[in-house]
Amino acid sequence: MWRSVRPVVIAIALAGLVAACGSNDDDARTESTERQEDESSETRAPKGDPRGEESDETASPVDETDGEADTGATGTDVPADQPPLVVDGILVYDYEITVINLTQGQPLSPPVLATHRADVEVWKLASPAGNGVIQIAENGNPGPLIAELTERRAAGELTDVRAGAAPLVPPGSPGATALGSGPCAAGCADRVTLRLYAPADDPRLSWVSMVVCTNDGFTGDSGIELPTTIGEETVIEARAYETSTEMNTENLADIMPPCQGLIGVLSPSGAPGIAESNPALAETGNIIPHRGVIGGVELDPAVHGWAEPVSKIIVTRVG
């Protein structure tokens, strides 16, 4: 059900996802990148978007001496004389970003991405996580973070906000094949490609995705630099972290339900799992490198464990 980038829909859909094991929602599958592009375009850059209905003739004047948007077009089909992209009065670059799950036994929740300037922060290692990041790390729920980032974007703090629509699952896992119902009814992929604008002046990306078969694990990047050369493919790997807000019980009863079906390891007790924070399991701490799956309870290090990195993104500036 992680199929729309619209926050409200996602929040509602996630609740449905929990119960989706028994549903017959034929439409609940990972849709194509094309569909994600179509749907997500509703939420982005409504004004002055050169790719939108308004032409770039409405764009603000650009300091050509500082801009790189119309230069350096080597090894790409972007014309060298392409006009600068200006969104909401800011010179931007256009990026294609593919997020890939590198694990063998962990689904990743639909990733949430935001682009921004270097002085903006979405999350930070060794600092407490905000509620939006916590809701992803504990419950795989992207809605609160999308809402938070969308609000910050409206205030001019962020340049673009995008989200995947389905879990990213290891190739060959049950989630990658037809499950008949749930978020991967027709099979999920290990990757998703999204398009984002980023500020041309020191473009940065932050993103977050839950490592689903954990208590409060996630992967992503915080304020990484994006490449500025058009057409050049850049690969950036990411490790697993935890928000230190939920104890690592490694009990499937405490872990969000899609974990079991997507990976194919069911709770011995038949517990469905839970996609809400449990106060009894709360802990207080900072974002730290994830301590990994220890084993001895219900998560199996041989199945759910991982080697770092757990994810990577492939970034290409396309305009």
| Shortest CB 102 distance to Ca ion, Å | 21
Q: Which two tokens stand for residue 198?
A: 């980023």
Cα 19 vs. chain centroid, distance in angstroms?
A: 22
Nearest CB to Ca ion, comparing residues 101 and 109: 109
Classify the C-alpha dihedral 260-261-265-271 as positive or negative. positive
How many of the other CB atoms lie within 10 Å of CB of 265? 18
Which range binds Ca ion by CB under 5 A, 138-146, 154-162, 176-184, 308-316? Answer: 138-146
- Residue among 5, 275, 8 at smallest CA distance from 164: 5
Classify the C-alpha dihedral 287-95-7-156 as positive or negative. positive
| Shortest CB 229 distance to Ca ion, Å | 39
Binding string, residues 83-122; x marks residues near Ca ion by CB under 5 A = ----------------------------------------
* Ranges within 205-264 binding Ca ion (CB under 5 A): 215-216, 242, 246, 248
Q: Which two tokens stand for residue 219?
A: 């992967």
| 7-18 vs 143-154: helix crossing angle, rounded to 10 | 180
Nearest CB to Ca ion, comparing residues 70 and 216: 216
49 binds Ca ion (CB under 5 A): no
Nearest CB to Ca ion, comparing residues 193 and 260: 260
| Binds Ca ion by CB under 5 A, chosen from 138, 148, 160, 250 | 138
Q: How many residues bind Ca ion (CB under 5 A)?
A: 6
Q: How far apart are CA 70 and CA 64, in angstroms?
A: 9
Nearest CB to Ca ion, comparing residues 101 and 248: 248
Note the residues at the interface with Ca ion (CB under 5 A): 138, 215-216, 242, 246, 248
